[in-house]
Structure 1
Amino acid sequence: MHLSALYRFPLKSAMGESLPSLQLDDLGVAGDRRWMFADAETGRFMTQRTFPQMSQLQARWNLSGGLTLNAPGMPTLEVALPDPDQALRGVIIWRDTLRVPDAGDEAAAWGSAFMGRGCRLVHVPAERARFIEGNVNGDEKVGFADGFPLLLIGQASLDDLVARVGRPLEMLRFRPNLVVQGAEPYAEDTWKRIRIGGAEFTLAKRCSRCVITTIDPKTGERSADREPLTTLRSYRQGEDGILFGQNLINHGNGELRVGMPVEILQ
């Protein structure tokens, strides 16, 4: 088994980027979901669930930690990394509330024009991150990802789903960070710990899927037949919802590269 693809999502719910390699840090993939648009009035996080046009929003992370934003009909905007202790804004993501630095009025105006609703662009530095669901060891944190630092999907699992649906489906619909090739379909459901390079990972919880998987990442259009959720519901429904993929917690940092072997530890 080996890594066949790697993805990073710098801005929560915006387009992902395929990478030949990436760096791990204390919050998962360096630069992954460290930025987020929040409703200007309520502070609540904004995603494709309510704003499907976000599927067409491109956010590229740079080594200084800032963003380059592009979207249809919008000018390119360079956003600098804000001071981690200045211009703090309260935001809500699921059940969590936290105070994080705001990227300023220019970024807010750009986002508000694109979203069609007043919003603010915020960043989460490591020292202001949330504790993960369950907080197993007392020090495990996550940025603006829904609940865990990383998501893994087996390529064979997607291939099986595609065969059942009867039409091609892009891996990016499911927004994984790591794609593993060489295992049986849904083998990742049974793994508890894996090693890739110098890092070990705990497979913490199977990932429950939402309406975002029905949005075509190329066009931003929702499928009229609600695929692939309709098919997934027929055989992947669990107590926690419709399950596809595994949430991971990394133990240790370092580099991951496409082609690296994946070792099952437990």
Structure 2
Amino acid sequence: MTSLVLSQLSVYPVKSLGGVTVDRVEVERQGLAGDRRWMVVDAGGDTVTAREVPRMLGVRVSLEADGLVLAADGLDALRVPEPRGLPTTRVSMNRVGSATPAGAPADAWLTEAIGRDVRLVWLDDPGRRSVSPDHGGAPGDTLSLADAGPVHLTTTASLAQLNTWLADEQDHPPLPMERFRPTVVVDGDLEPFVEDTWAGVRIGDVELRFGERCDRCVMTTVDLDVLRTTKEPTRTLARHRREDGKVWFGIRLIPVTTGSIAVGDEVVALG
């Protein structure tokens, strides 16, 4: 196989809000450091995502050593410290049970930013949530507030094929990789969607094993410029990548070892 390279790294500090592109990051057992330690819930503790509220994807997030900063058009930026040591509250997300409220200022800011009464909560210990066996988890595998797997990998070859289909069949402009919210992106001379067949990857010195293919939801259809849902890429993926009643793009990975990875690292596809 020709040389493969890690071409992009992203973390999403708050589930369903904007992501942060980084040059280097630590791979921990539950995923990339800083990825999805926070989430938005309603007054009853149920998770609120951009599937229902596309405006959430327009909220920008930056990481600090002990918290984050929220920003959105028309609002002053708000710094939110990690609420360590404070009482937790009930949340309904599976295999979590409770999380720590970020506090009234964050709740009010987010409520105004997305136009819905919400709360911001923080996962105090990501090691207490497990990866479900239904998603490739084994005993000891842990997970942040991500939906199903610790690390989400896509390839530029697969996106190029999708954009070719979109152009040829729909005269549609190319979609950015950000629509799919991957944490790691691999570049190189690959066949489109060959990642579906990998048993795992080694990025630099860090090994990750295959968990499952990634089924895609309505979030990928949100136009990130206008924050409204569209028909693509679901319509085109349904013609070419439909199986078991779902459409597929990218794979979920589970760390076998931990350590630092960086853009430009060599990627080796395993087995």
Give TM class, smaller chain.
Answer: over 0.9
State the partner residue of 1:20: 23
Q: Aligned equivalents of 1:133 and 1:74: distance in 2?
A: 38
Tell me which moved more, 47-56 or 237-246.
Answer: 237-246
Q: Distance between the aligned counterparts of 1:229 and 1:129, measured in 2?
A: 34
Query: Is 1:71 aligned to 2:81, yes or no?
Result: no
* Distance in 1 of aligned mates of 2:208 and 2:100: 29
Corresponding residue of 1:176: 182
Determine the C-alpha separation between the residues in 1 that align with 2:222 and 2:23. Answer: 25
The question of 1:230 aligning with 2:235 is answered yes
Q: TM-score with structure 2 length normalisation?
A: 0.92
Instruction: Work out the CA distance in 2 between the residues paired with 1:187 and 1:250.
Output: 20
Relative to 1, partners in 2 of residues 1:127 and 1:263: Cα closer, same or farther, differing over 3 Å?
closer
Residue aligning to 1:58:
60
2:149 and 2:253 in contact (8 A); partners too = yes
Aligned residue in 1 for 2:193:
186
- The whole-number CA distance in structure 2 between the counterparts of 1:192 and 1:136 is 14
Q: Structure 1: which amino acid aligns with 2:241?
A: R
Return the match for 1:10 from 3, 9, 13. Answer: 13
Q: Distance in 1 between matches of 2:174 and 2:70?
A: 29
* Residue among 2, 26, 34 paired with 2:37: 34
Superposition CA RMSD, Å: 1.5
Task: Please report the TM-score for the alignment, with normalisation by the length of structure 1.
Answer: 0.93
By how many angstroms is 1:120 displaced? 1.2
Residue pair 1:154, 1:181 contacting (<8 A) in 2 also: yes
User: How far apart, CA to CA, are the structure 1 residues paired with 2:83 and 2:251?
Assistant: 32
Query: Does the residue aligned with 1:141 lie in a helix, a strand or coil?
Result: coil
Question: 1:34–1:265: structure 2 CA closer, same or farther, 3 Å change rule?
Answer: same
Segments of structure 2 that go 5 or more residues without pairing to the other structure are 168-172
In structure 1, how many angstroms separate the alpha carbons of the residues matched to 2:239 and 2:132? 27
1:111 aligns to 2:110 (yes or no): yes
Matched, 1:243 2:248: yes
TM-aligned CA deviation for residue 248 of structure 1: 0.7
Deviations 1:207-262 (A, max 9, x none): 01011111122331222xx0110000111112261111000111222111111111
